[in-house]
Every structure is written in structure tokens, then in C-alpha cells.
Amino acid sequence: MIRTYREHDFEELLRLRCLLYPKHSTQELRDEVTAFFYHPHANRFRNYDLWTSLVYGRGDGRLGGFIEIGFVSAVDYEEKLEDFRNTAYGDEVRQRLAANLPIPVVESWYVDEDLRRKRIGAQLMLHAAQWVREHGCLFILSDTDDFRDVSKKAHQSLGFDTYHIDAEGCHYFFKRLI
């Protein structure tokens, strides 16, 4: 079942984030999750104007996956505008930035290995897309590191287009919502 994160999910969400980000310490990720939920403007990565975390509950108190998505302040995202030059998406992004409207970005997306290939990741993304639509936007941005082949394939299978690959190999995705 997909639902919004609840406070009692904290330890399970932390477990999933530790699997997604194994190079980070548990304490670092604990601090990050705390900042996301209890001090969103203190997050060291982005200044989210609006934020949600959706989780997949296994039905036994454990989580099997999650997606975190937020609207990044247009001012904070303006430096990325160059990445959209000469893409089919540039106008949509530029219009939101010109109107000082925040940009919807997937921060994290993960499904436990034993639940993959069961459309749970797709369901999480569909719920995130609905949340974005409800907040007045018709596209989503996302990214993943070059070494995350599963993530790249998942984005592509859900209709995301790669609009930029940076010098470190990070893949940036755009999806227009219908």
C-alpha cells in the first residue's frame, strides 16, 4: 500500500535510505531525514518550498520502498537552466523560473530488492506525479548517478527522457505529466 510517510516510519525509512546511499554513515542519513521532515529549510542539499515522502508499506509495519519529492525554489534551481538549453523542455522550465515558481524534483527513490520488478517503483512514481499535478505542475525532474543502472532503466521505462549528463556522469531526467 502506498501512503504518505508517518512519524513511526522513521527507522524503516532510514533503513531504506542506508541501502540507497551506502557511502553515507547512518548518522549522516539520520540527520538528513530529520532535516527533511522537521527542518526542511535547513536541508543542506536543497531549499524545498514544498515536500512529501511517499512510502510503500508491506503490511507488517515494514516499508518496502519510498519516494521523496519536493518543489525546489526557482532561485535555487536557476543555475541548472543552462542544462535545458536546446532541449524540448527548456520552455516549460524557463516559464516556471520566470514566474518564480518552484521546480518539482525527485530527491530519492528506492525499492527493496525483493520487491523489484513488481511495479512498486512505478506505483510510487505515479503517486508522486499525482502529488505534483495537485500542486500545479505538469512535469517532474529527477537524476541518478551513472553507476545506478537499475535507476536509469526504471526512469526510462516510466517515460523519463535524459536531458543532460554532467561531467561526473550524473544522468538528469525530465518527464512531462499528462
pLDDT tens per residue, range 75-113: 766 666 667 666 777 777 777 777 878 889 998 999 999
* Entry pTM: 0.88
Interatomic CA distance for residues 162 and 57, integer angstroms: 30
Interatomic CA distance for residues 160 and 168, integer angstroms: 20
114 — pLDDT class (breaks 50, 70, 90): very high
Q: What is the pLDDT of residue 44?
A: 53
State the average pLDDT for the chain: 86
Higher pLDDT, 88 or 157: 157
- Phi first, then psi: give them for residue 119, nearest 5 degrees: 70, 15
- Reading the block at residue 58, the C-alpha cell is 508491506
- Percent of residues, the chain, with pLDDT higher than 90: 49
Residue (of 139, 141, 129, 9) closest to 64 by Cα position: 9
- The answer for residues whose C-beta is within 8 angstroms of residue 63's C-beta and 6 or more apart is 9, 12, 13, 15, 16, 55, 56, 57
Residue 56 has pLDDT above 90, yes or no: yes
Q: What is the pLDDT of residue 85?
A: 65
Burial annotation 144-171 (CB, 10 A radius, 16+ → b, else e): beeeeeebbebbeebebeebbeeeeeeb
What is the average per-residue pLDDT within 49-53?
80
The distance in angstroms from the start CA to the end CA of the chain is: 24
Q: What is the pLDDT of residue 48?
A: 63
Residue 145 has pLDDT above 80, yes or no: yes
Residue 118 has pLDDT above 90, yes or no: yes
38 — pLDDT class (breaks 50, 70, 90): confident
Interatomic CA distance for residues 7 and 59, integer angstroms: 16
Residue 42 has pLDDT above 60, yes or no: no
Interatomic CA distance for residues 67 and 144, integer angstroms: 13
Find out whether 5 and 38 touch, Cβ atoms under 8 Å.
Answer: no
Which contiguous run of DSSP H or E holds residue 58?
none
